[in-house]
Structures are given as structure tokens and as C-alpha cells.
Structure 1
Amino acid sequence: MNRLVLLSGWGIDARIWRPLEAHWPADLEVTTPDWPGYGARPGLDDPDDLAALAAAMAGDLSADAVWAGWSLGGLLAAALLDHLPAPRALVLLGMGPRFCTEGGIPPQELAAFRRAFARDGEATRQHFLRWQLQGEPAPRAAHRRLIDLIGREPGPEAATLAAGLERLATLDVSARLDAPPCPVHRIAGERDPLLAPALRASAEQRLAGAGHCPMLSRPDALAACLTRIARAPAPTAECPS
């Protein structure tokens, strides 16, 4: 049985993956664990501690699976390669080796976002939920689908979200990805507003008609792409456009 673990991003729990459920083949075992502090999972005593994060996720991130992390989830999954046995393959969805890049999200924009978060965390999170969808073909419809999935209730505790923002600001996995312990695949929506154009262009797989959240706009294509990688995790795996 091929195994695939899906990891969500900043401010959004594992329910984001539900649109893909109808598209998985029978030979693929898919799990969607929440990060500590998300969903019903208790947060860490120290949300900034990567070693503690690895210990908490060890039972979910097995070496016989493909790990697919979206946005911050991809950055964290790559960082955990230094703490856990390597998976069969790693998939970075909508993420490069760092969050802030030239031509993408500049550091000063993230710094302004963090200041806004410190003033009103939940309002800032809700703004981000809408803002990240601007690259989808129908942003308002995508936002309605997102709210249908995750509801309008407050998100994770402020400490968990603040730690995630700190990692977005400081975590750089370039060295690990330059010498990875497993195959690494990058998938990007061709209209992802969070990625610099050069990063979108360099992704091995680009999903047409999608932005940062292809699970909302192109669940069929994203599921097909991840299935190909999970069945044969090789750098040459190709996905439908």
C-alpha cells in the first residue's frame, strides 16, 4: 500500500484537504494529521522547539510514506528531515526553501503582517485566509469553500500561530534541500501569489488554473499529481495540467 501524509499550512487545520477525498485511488493510504496546536491536537509547551515538534509528529511522519507539506507545512516538513528518518519522498506544495524571497513576499511585508497579528491575531488570520486566495480563478467562491471546510470559529492559539510566523520569517531549508536524504518534488499553482515568478517557473509540476490553494480550485489535478508521486516517488514523475 502506498502511503501519503498531507500537512497543512499556517492558520488552517487538516480539514483543508477534504476536497481531495473523492479523488484518491484505492491503492493509496492518505492521512492528514494536524500539527500540534491545530484542530483538537494540543499545542506544544514551547511552540518554537523544532525537536519537540519532531517528537510530537514522529508517529504521523513515517519513513515508508511520502510527506506532502503545503505552504508552512512544507517548510516544516523539510526542517524535520534533520530530526526524523527520511520519508520515501518529500513534496513541497506552494513553498520554496524559504518563505520570503526576492520577487515574492518581501521580509518587510511579513514584518508588517506580524505587527498586525500582534494587535489583533484573529482578524489578521481572517484577512490572510482571504488574501492567499487572490490567485485562484474565483477568489470569492474559493473563500466560501474554505469557510465551509474550516468554519468561522477562531483558529489555533496565538502562541502556535506566532511560532509559525517566526518560522516563516527565519526558517531557511536551502542547505537541506541542496543535499536531501530523499527525492524532493515541488508543486506550484501557476498563479500562486505567494511565490516569486522564478519559483513558480522552477517548480517541477505547475498546476494550471490554480493559485496558492489548489486543493480548493483544482482538487482533481492536485490529487492526481500527488498520487503519481506517491506511487513512484521519482523526480521525473509528471502531473496533468
Structure 2
Amino acid sequence: MTLVLLSGWGIDARIWHPLAPYWPGGIEVRTPDWPGYGERSHETLPKTLPVLADKMRGDLPQDAIWVGWSLGGLLAGALLPHLPPPRALLLVGTGARFCSEDGVRAAELATFRRAFDRDPRATWQHFLRWQLQGEPAPRMAHRRLLDLLGGHPSASSQTLATGLEQLAYLDLGEMLAAPPCPIWRIAGERDRLMGKTARQSAERILTGCGHSPMLSHPETLVRHLVELAGSDADQRSDRGGVAS
């Protein structure tokens, strides 16, 4: 069974390193970077979904389970009409939309985008702290995050600005209503970036976690990902398919 883990805004694939000690045998884990991030920082994140799909086609195989976190989840869901659907899609810290009336409001994101235009690096650093507010020990989580990423983003300001635009407009509502593959959602019960309605609609709610459970509760997150991935295998067995 293969899981492909996809990171969120302003953060590259190194965010998944804390999960490494907890994966059980029989699970293959891949952590590709989005164009413009990490090992692909020489590229620029495409603004259009068809172009992004072409660039990610080799990293998002049909026989894998895709796991998208935050903006990574929104992008993974938005790519489903443009790529062969995976075995399943697991969304972590991801609702149908980033903005909501009971979470981050559209006006708040617009203010953040204006601040980013004035000072990209300082705004990125603020975002790191902002998304960790719901964790049980946010300062410790922030130190762990900086240990992983360093003090500056791996992506260019252009790539980050494109990601903020995607946060503003991507909407998975229609896709979630008629999904082309099984989709499950995992939410931290104290996630400050998800609205209450989106959190409560998740299939799994992680007690005591915020938006970044891979930093605060990596073992718990792995357990839930593996259980949900296994439920896909069970469904395939029930349908007479081959489970890996």
C-alpha cells in the first residue's frame, strides 16, 4: 500500500519527517514536493490546475492513496478532475474551502495577502506561528517546525503568492458531494484554521490537536492514516478487488 503525502502553504515535504518512526511495515510512503517548493524550488507553482496536474502526474499515481494537508488537501481534491483518481483521498486539516464564516474569514485572508505583498518573509513567519496556536505546546511545535524548515521558506514569493490565491478561490464542495473516489477527512479538534462546521464533519477528530498534528501528535496521526487507508483496502476486498 502506497501513501503519497502532500504538504500545505509555505511548507515543503520536510513537514512529514516526524512521522517516519511510526509507519508500520507494508506501507510505502512518498513525500513529493509541489512545484516551487523544496527540491523543486527552481520551478514555480502553476496558477492553473491543468498545468499543475501535468507537473504532478508522475507523483500522484492512481494505485496510491493521496494524503493532502491544508492547501495540499485543497489542491489534491481540485486535481481529481484532471488526473486518474487515486484509491482514496485523505484530507488532513482541510475543509471544502479554506475560508468560512466560523473559521478564517475571507476578509482575514485578504488582510493577510496584503501583508504578504508588503513583507513576504515576515508574513510567512507569522503564518507558521498562527497555524500552531491550537497545538498543546505551540512554542515547542514552532521550534520543531523551524528545526525542519529553517528560518526562511523554500519557495519563492511568486509561488507563495500563487498559493494564497488558491487558498482564496479553491472550493471542493461539488467534488465532496459527488466524489470520484473514497474521501475521508481528519481534523484536529482545536484547529484554528478550520471552521467548527468543517471540523465536526470530519470522519476522524484528533483530540488535543490543532492544525499541525504531524508536529504535536505524529504517532496518533499515523495511526489514523493507516486505519483509514486500511478501510479502503477492506472495501476493495468486499468488492472482490485486490487489497495491498
Matches within 5 A, 1:138-217: 138-217=137-216
| Conserved 8 A contact 1:186-1:205 | yes
Partner of 1:239: none
Matches within 5 A, 1:40-79: 40-42=39-41, 44=43, 47-79=46-78
**1:181-219 CA distance string (max 9 Å, x none):** 100000000110011112111111001111000000110
Task: Specify whether residues 45 and 210 from structure 1 end up closer, same or farther in structure 2 by C-alpha distance, changes over 3 A only.
Answer: closer
Give 1:40 deviation, angstroms: 1.8
Q: What amino acid does structure 2 have at the position aligned with 1:91?
A: L
Task: Specify whether residues 24 and 111 from structure 1 end up closer, same or farther in structure 2 by C-alpha distance, changes over 3 A only.
Answer: same
| Conserved 8 A contact 1:122-1:155 | no
CA distance in 1, matches of 2:207, 2:234: 20
How many residue pairs match? The answer is 235
What SS does the corresponding residue of 1:232 show, helix, strand or coil?
helix
CA distance in 1, matches of 2:44, 2:74: 21
Partner of 1:23: 22
Partner of 1:91: 90
**1:29-84 CA distance string (max 9 Å, x none):** 00000000000214556720211111111111001111010000000000000100
Give 1:235 deviation, angstroms: 10
CA distance in 2, matches of 1:30, 1:92: 16
Q: What amino acid does structure 2 have at the position aligned with 1:185?
A: W
Provide structure 2 residue ranges, at least 5 long, that are not aligned to the other structure.
236-244
Partner of 1:224: 223
CA distance in 2, matches of 1:107, 1:235: 40
CA distance in 2, matches of 1:140, 1:42: 28
CA distance in 1, matches of 2:15, 2:127: 15
Task: Specify whether residues 105 and 85 from structure 1 end up closer, same or farther in structure 2 by C-alpha distance, changes over 3 A only.
Answer: same
Give 1:222 deviation, angstroms: 0.3
CA distance in 2, matches of 1:234, 1:78: 20
What SS does the corresponding residue of 2:103 show, helix, strand or coil?
coil
Partner of 2:110: 111
Provide structure 1 residue ranges, at least 5 long, that are not aligned to the other structure.
237-241
What SS does the corresponding residue of 2:184 show, helix, strand or coil?
strand
CA distance in 2, matches of 1:18, 1:5: 13
What SS does the corresponding residue of 1:181 show, helix, strand or coil?
coil
| Conserved 8 A contact 1:17-1:32 | yes
* Length-normalised TM-score, structure 1: 0.94
Runs of 4+ displaced beyond 2 Å: 42-47
Identity %: 61
Q: When you count helix as a share of all residues, which structure comes out higher?
A: 2
CA distance in 2, matches of 1:104, 1:235: 34
Matches within 5 A, 1:121-132: 121-132=120-131
